[in-house]
A and B are shown apart, each in its own frame.
Chain A
């Protein structure tokens, strides 16, 4: 006996009133996309659930893994579908299902029956009671509990019969595409991929921007960021990654501005460029992996100073997280191993020994005026030479 279909349950989108179909359509689209890498499936939507049926042979583990990455899914139920729903066949299949799905049958259960096929000779309560009796005969250690059972054994009769009881947790969240688009500032570190994942989980399409500083950062550092974007895209769907050559701007800041302000000024220019790219690509917000106080450039004062250049909202989903909490998520979403590869990014190379931790916006602004005669030209050059790649799993 093998699972040959999945019943997909979703939670939050069930309560979105008249816009519900938009959310359901987005979820259908995301499931289709996720499964397009696994095999051929047909999807049908009905009453707050989605049925996914395999068209031909498929890899069960791969399919479940793919579904577990689709935001909006609260649970995945592997289903056994049977063609012959005559009573004898149904009873035999339900018994076989129980012995297949459970190694240990010491549990309480309740049979839940839905009968869409109203021509079926027995009515739902009767089917439930009779199946329960069959199961008790076959597995003497089973017990019925209609109020608070360990296992709900679901049987649905339509043109085919559907048997399911197991629930695999989905990732939760909202289907990607239901909440606009945002631009993720992606470095090679641990935090930014996690930040992208978290915002994407709320249904947001991602674009990403990476600041490349050759020859100070290597081709391998860039490869690493592309790989991180690819890992995030397993959840978020395709990401357009914009690679900005930041070397000249960084050099100018380095030469003309006070050294303890380097990182802050650099980050202000990164935010400006990210916002420009966001506007150009239809994104309405920026995402960073900042967390209060993690490093000098992420103190409250520093965050205020970098935030000041942006008109768009900047989402910082990790703002209240400890490092270890971020690491835990990055391990769970499988970006950690890549994040800790030892290639320097521009933030680690161009850092002052004692950066300011309480920058004053007015002083920073004054320092930036030292760039006045070169910065427009450099920004123009950087913005005109952006390399954009589409990254997907």
Chain B
């Protein structure tokens, strides 16, 4: 039995999406900048994609710019906003549990002379709003807080945070990394005071190499990629038409039966947590997001559990997949106050709309069988 429970890392593309992408690659392959009919045909896909996505998050189509994925969206938002607004101030605020594609651009900005405040989180991974209030100052130009944490699924209070930021001063830009949130929880950036928002396509059964950034009208951003001035100069480079078309369709399919799938995922998540925490010394740290489950299996290193489950056809992550390449500790778990041992023994299971109860039963069964074997063998 193969059970894929690593959907927060990436997800299988919808069949409709791959079909459409093949059609675009083989038939409607024109360059959107070309003046002829073939170019126009390609341009229509982009226009349509922009409209579809704008409708879903209730913004204007011209506020959507396509990127090569979540990392580029976050980089563009943060570096672009900081460099375009540096005359107004040099202070940026973020949380201590952001994804590397937020933290690394910010550390780059620190090298460029900006100062960054990292807000603490509580034991559930929720960012402290009091700390946010304390951190805001005259020099602050940008605040970036993720919508859903990728390691434990904590849902951050972005609406309250936006309110605090905008009440302090209207022209401080507020960025949300919505990569784990988009398609899982409703979000309407323009209604709650978000100026910039990043989204990735492959987390919602769309293609890898696709993503977009929402940029509120009239927000000044310095583009990262310079060249042929595609997308109003915000993001030069020939548009990845098949990926953009695929992203829009994946997004459309996701929202079509959104509430039904949301409920089902929440139920499955609760079901799994209840079953797995009945096992000896297994602890749940999951946040409120419907698809991410974080469980500590005390006494079993996550690497070992991961490979043991892999052997049974079950695919999971230790901490966050993106940081699993580095053998350093998960930032989120550490910041939530977990001990080193517990953080090193934590596995992330992430569900999709296709996850079935029988798959979760099988997974719990296998874990129950593996735990005593693996625990015989802990580092002493």
Tell me the A residues contacting B by CB distance below 8 Å.
214-219, 251, 254-255, 259, 342, 344, 349, 352-353
Tell me, yes or no, whether B280 is within 8 Å of chain A by CB: no
Tell me the minimal C-beta distance from A348 to chain B in angstroms: 10
Tell me the minimal C-beta distance from A387 to chain B in angstroms: 15
The CA-CA distance from A353 to B379 in the complex, in Å, is: 9
Residues of B near A219 (CB, < 8 A) are: 307, 310
The CA-CA distance from A344 to B303 in the complex, in Å, is: 10
Proximity string of chain B (341-380) to chain A, C-beta cutoff 8 Å, 1 when within and 0 when not: 0000000000000000000000000000000000011011
Q: Are B326 and A251 in contact (CB under 8 A)?
A: no
Interface residues of B in 298-328 (CB under 8 A from A): 303-311, 325-327
Q: Are B377 and A215 in contact (CB under 8 A)?
A: no
Q: Are B311 and A352 in contact (CB under 8 A)?
A: no
The CA-CA distance from A251 to B372 in the complex, in Å, is: 13
The CA-CA distance from A217 to B326 in the complex, in Å, is: 15
Q: How many residues of B contact A (CB 8 A)?
A: 16
Residues of B near A218 (CB, < 8 A) are: 303, 307
Residues of A near B379 (CB, < 8 A) are: 349
Contacts A/B (CB < 8 Å), 29 sampled = A214-B307, A214-B311, A215-B304, A215-B305, A215-B306, A215-B307, A215-B308, A215-B309, A215-B310, A215-B311, A216-B303, A216-B304, A216-B307, A217-B307, A218-B303, A218-B307, A219-B307, A219-B310, A251-B376, A254-B377, A255-B377, A259-B380, A342-B325, A342-B326, A342-B327, A344-B327, A349-B379, A352-B380, A353-B380
Which 5 A-B residue pairings sit nearest by Cβ, starting from the closest? A215-B307, A215-B308, A218-B307, A342-B327, A216-B304
Residues of A near B326 (CB, < 8 A) are: 342
The CA-CA distance from A215 to B309 in the complex, in Å, is: 8
In this complex, what residue of A is CB-closest to B380?
Answer: A259
Q: Are A255 and B376 in contact (CB under 8 A)?
A: yes
> What is the total of A-B residue contacts with beta carbons within 8 Å?
33
The CA-CA distance from A199 to B140 in the complex, in Å, is: 63
Residues of A near B327 (CB, < 8 A) are: 342, 344
Tell me the B residues contacting A by CB distance below 8 Å.
303-311, 325-327, 376-377, 379-380
Q: Are A251 and B303 in contact (CB under 8 A)?
A: no
The CA-CA distance from A349 to B377 in the complex, in Å, is: 11
The CA-CA distance from A349 to B374 in the complex, in Å, is: 13
Residues of A near B377 (CB, < 8 A) are: 216, 251, 254-255
Tell me the minimal C-beta distance from A345 to chain B in angstroms: 12
The CA-CA distance from A218 to B315 in the complex, in Å, is: 13
The CA-CA distance from A349 to B326 in the complex, in Å, is: 16
In this complex, what residue of A is CB-closest to B312?
Answer: A215
Residues of B near A349 (CB, < 8 A) are: 379
Tell me the minimal C-beta distance from A55 to chain B in angstroms: 40
Residues of A near B310 (CB, < 8 A) are: 215, 219
The CA-CA distance from A254 to B375 in the complex, in Å, is: 12
In this complex, what residue of B is CB-closest to A221?
Answer: B307
The CA-CA distance from A102 to B276 in the complex, in Å, is: 74
In this complex, what residue of A is CB-closest to B308?
Answer: A215
In this complex, what residue of B is CB-closest to A259?
Answer: B380
The CA-CA distance from A353 to B378 in the complex, in Å, is: 12
Known: A259-B380, A342-B325. 12 other contacts (CB 8 A): A214-B307, A215-B308, A215-B309, A216-B303, A216-B304, A216-B377, A218-B303, A251-B376, A254-B377, A255-B376, A344-B303, A349-B379
The CA-CA distance from A344 to B310 in the complex, in Å, is: 17
In this complex, what residue of A is CB-closest to B325?
Answer: A342
Tell me the minimal C-beta distance from B295 to chain A in angstroms: 17
The CA-CA distance from A216 to B300 in the complex, in Å, is: 11
The CA-CA distance from A219 to B325 in the complex, in Å, is: 14
The CA-CA distance from A10 to B377 in the complex, in Å, is: 54
Tell me the minimal C-beta distance from A370 to chain B in angstroms: 16
The CA-CA distance from A352 to B380 in the complex, in Å, is: 7
The CA-CA distance from A342 to B327 in the complex, in Å, is: 7
Tell me the minimal C-beta distance from A374 to chain B in angstroms: 14
Residues of A near B308 (CB, < 8 A) are: 215
Residues of A near B376 (CB, < 8 A) are: 251, 255
In this complex, what residue of B is CB-closest to A247?
Answer: B377
Tell me the minimal C-beta distance from B6 to chain A in angstroms: 15
